[in-house]
Structures are given as structure tokens and as C-alpha cells.
Amino acid sequence: MTWNEDGGRLPEEFLTPGTSSFTDFLAAHRPELLSTRRVLPDGVAAAPDRVPHGTTILALTFRDGVLIAGDRRATMGNLIAQRDLEKVHPADDHTAVAFAGTVGLALDLVKLYQVELTHFEKIEGVAMTLDGKARRLAGMIRQNLGQAMQGLAVVPLLTGYDAAAPEGREGRIFSFDVAGGLYEKTDFHAEGSGSPYARGALKKLFRPGMDRREAALAALQALYDAADDDSATGGPDLNRRIFPIVSVITEDGFERLPEPETEALSRDMVEQRGNRPDGPNAAP
């Protein structure tokens, strides 16, 4: 017989063999805890100026793996709701997820996804493959489709280091649409309101085989360009010392670049922009 910490017997659902998906477990036994499945009443839609939204996120591969980054701004209509939002999070040791869209739902989704991967590994005894992680996240996004159609969309970006991939392609990037469509991207990608400008900058700056510093600078340049043309994207805030979040995933695992490193790179970039406001030219 199994007992909980209070000395009482665990509910029957904890003792019954079932799925390795924590999300499916909640859906079967405590569906009210799944914020991604709550739909607004008929005829009700979310007002875009009343719900904080996260904006630009991006990822690119580099010599040792993959880099993922995001600006820090959240907006409500024409208002800045938050200046220091964290949009990039580790999902497990070799996977990271960033989000654009409705902040409250996105943060819940990230936390649920982290538990989903941990639960699978504990139940199955092995870690999920990177392709499996991408499909699992796609399924979770699909569950939010009802709310997405009412204006509460979440658009994540998934990156990971895949030791089973061919040499030189271990860093992988996956994007999603609001219906749970799954797309693997090559080299780089961006999501969010500033993504067209970020992708344009990355198209100019990306080159295979970049080292970590070069990749981080390319990401910061792309976020700067996005902030230059998209009011919902925040660039480096030198006065408040708020800088984009930049993280890398390599064979050694997930690492968020230390704040002093990100600050130094951001200040160097802003100084360079003083001489060349439109940013660096494409690499020859």
C-alpha cells in the first residue's frame, strides 16, 4: 500500500498504470488544472490591449550547438506591460523553449512542458528523443487552439542538442503554429511581432560554423533590428541594465549566458551602431 506525506493513502489514479504523459494524466483526472484547455464563453474574445503579450524570440545554430534568445518586453496594446520578461527557459538539460504570445498562458505551458519531460523520463526510464519532445509540445499547443482562436495564442520556439544527429547538425530548431503544426527550421528562425525584421537580419548575418560569441552578436544584432522597426520589441536598455536573454545548448547542456557577458556584448553592439546605424553588412 502506498501512502502520501500526510499518512493517508494516495488516490487510486496514482496507483493505476497509465500513460507516460503528465498532460494526459491531468486531462483524465484533474482537467481543471490545465489552463491550456480552458475556453472563454461563447461570444467572448480576449481584448488585445488587456492581456500582456511577449514579442520577439529567435534561434540559430552555431559551431557547438544551438543558440536561443529573446527580447524582454511585454506589451498590452500600445502600452509596455513589462520590461524584463524572461521568454527563454530550459525545458531539460539539452532542450530549451522560448515563447511569443499571451504571457500568462505561455508561462503555464512552459512549466507544464518541463514537468511533461521529467514525468516521461521517470515513467519510461529514458529521456525522450528530441523529435519526441517536439511532437509532444506540438500536441500541447494544439490543446490551446480554442483559446488561440479567441485571441489568446501562444507561439513557442523549441531548440535542442541532438547527439544522434549527423555531425555538424546536432543543434536543431523547431517552430510551431497556433494549431500545433510542427516545422523544423534550418540554420535560424524567429517568431513574434518583430520576427520579420529579426529573420531579415539573421539572413544577412548568419554563416555556418560561427563560434559562440559570433552567434550571440548575430542574435543581439537581429533583436536590435527587430526593436528598431517593431515597437512591441525591446532592445538593450542600457540605462536600466536590461538586456536580451541569450542561452546556448551544446553537448555539455543548457547554459544561459551570464549577465555580464550579455551586457558587454550589448554595449559593444550599441557602440558599433553609433557608427553604422543600420548594422553590419553581410559577411563576404
For position 3, what pLDDT does the model report? Answer: 47
Terminus-to-terminus CA distance in the chain, angstroms? 69
Question: How far is 53 from 126, CA to CA, in rounded Å?
Answer: 35
Q: Mind listing the pLDDT tens digit for each residue in 238-264?
A: 999 999 999 999 999 999 999 999 999
Check: CB of residue 119 under 8 Å from CB of residue 163: no
pLDDT of 108 strictly over 50: yes
Q: Give the side-chain half-sphere CA count within 13 A for 171.
A: 27
For position 277, what pLDDT does the model report? Answer: 87
For the question of residue 56 being annotated catalytic, the response is no
Q: Mind listing the pLDDT tens digit for each residue in 47-100?
A: 666 778 888 999 999 999 999 999 999 999 889 999 999 999 999 999 999 999
Question: How far is 1 from 171, CA to CA, in rounded Å?
Answer: 45
pTM of this prediction exceeds 0.75 = yes
Question: How far is 84 from 103, CA to CA, in rounded Å?
Answer: 12
117: its cell numbers: 519531460
- What is the sign, positive or negative, of the torsion defined by CA atoms of 31, 32, 37, 43? positive
Phi/psi for 117 (5° steps) reads: -70, -40
Catalytic residue from among 19, 23, 36, 55: 55
Percentage above 70 pLDDT, the chain: 82
Going by C-alpha positions, the residue among 59, 54, 119 that lies closest to residue 92 is: 119
pLDDT of 1 strictly over 50: no
Q: Mind listing the pLDDT tens digit for each residue in 24-51?
A: 655 665 665 566 555 556 655 556 667 7
